[in-house]
Copies of this chain bind each other. A is one copy, B any other.
Amino acid sequence: MTSAKASKAPDASRRSERSRRAIFDAALALVTEAGYAKTTVEGIAARAGVGKQTIYRWWPSKAAVLLDAYLDLAAQANDALGGAAHGEEGASGIPDTGDLAADLRYVLRATVDELGDPKYDGPTRALAAEGLVSAEFAAQMAEKLVEPQLTYYLRRLEAAREDGDIAPDTDLRIAAELLTAPIAQRWQYRTVPLTHAYADALVTHVLRGLAPRP
């Protein structure tokens, strides 16, 4: 790197961060308004006020930029939940206070709040819809989003099993999905309102099934 370039680096970095933010905002707004199929790299670039080549310098495809924009949004939600307070990168967002039921109620209430927030609702629906019809996009969503989120639950449930709070023969992945899938289904078909009381009742019903048996 030449010294001329080095002296420009802080500005360039600020500009990059500003562009990245504008690209993410444009990508999420467009996919929410127009859906995945009609969102294009050209459209994102135009709305973000950057050149198309700026996007292609950082991301190989529309799918990649949309996923990164969504992961950034999800990370903000996780930070808001207190995940960042743990001080680790990719912190779980699931606290371990030693009270499994309380910890799960906390995180599922937050999930209910997030799914009810238009900021998350639109992009989540658009990307989940694309995942339903595109196996390739679903695989990327699973790898970067679904499996990591499931891992947070698996870790908390594993700690609970070690503490003797859940039965030793529990299939932890099934247990994690019992906690997350029913909320997603109510959200998907908007069949009944998602409330904190529902989140609490779900935790109660699932934990009854996981409890150690005599």
Residues of A within 8 A of B (CB): 35, 37, 125-126, 128-133, 135, 138-139, 141-142, 146-147, 167, 170-171, 173-175, 177-178, 180-182, 184-186, 188-192, 198, 201-202, 205-210, 213
Asked if A171 meets B201 with Cβ closer than 8 Å, knowing A132-B129, A147-B191, the reply is yes
**Set of chain B residues within 8 Å of A190, measured between Cβ atoms:** 135, 138-139, 142
Instruction: Write the chain B residue with the least CB distance to A127.
Output: B132
Pick from B177, B189, B201, B210: contact of A182, CB below 8 A. Answer: B177
- Give the residues in chain B near A35, CB-CB below 8 Å: 37, 133
What residue in chain B is nearest A125 (Cβ atoms)?
Answer: B132
B126 touches A133 (CB 8 A): yes
**Please, which residues of chain B bring their CB within 8 A of the CB of A185?**
177, 180-181, 184-185
Determine whether the beta carbon of B174 is less than 8 Å from that of A205. yes
Residue pair A177, B184 in contact (C-beta under 8 Å): no
| CB closest residue in chain B, given A141 | B189
Contact in complex: B189, A142 (CB < 8 Å) = yes
Q: How far is the CA of A2 from the CA of B73 in the complex (A)?
A: 67
Q: How far is the CB of A189 from chain B (nearest CB, A)?
A: 5
Smallest distance from the beta carbon of A25 to chain B beta carbons, Å?
20
Neighbouring B residues of A139 by C-beta, 8 Å: 190
In the assembly, what is the distance between CA of A45 and CA of B151, in Å?
Answer: 48
The docked-state distance in angstroms from the alpha carbon of A126 to that of B184 is 18
Contact yes or no, B177 A186, CB < 8 A: yes
With a 10 A CB-CB cut-off, give which of A171, A175, A190, A192 has the most chain B CB atoms. Answer: A190
What CA separation (Å) do A175 and B139 show in the bound complex? 29
Question: How distant is A142 from chain B, measured CB to nearest CB, in Å?
Answer: 5
Q: How far is the CB of A100 from chain B (nearest CB, A)?
A: 14
* Contact partners of A130 in chain B: CB under 8 A: 129
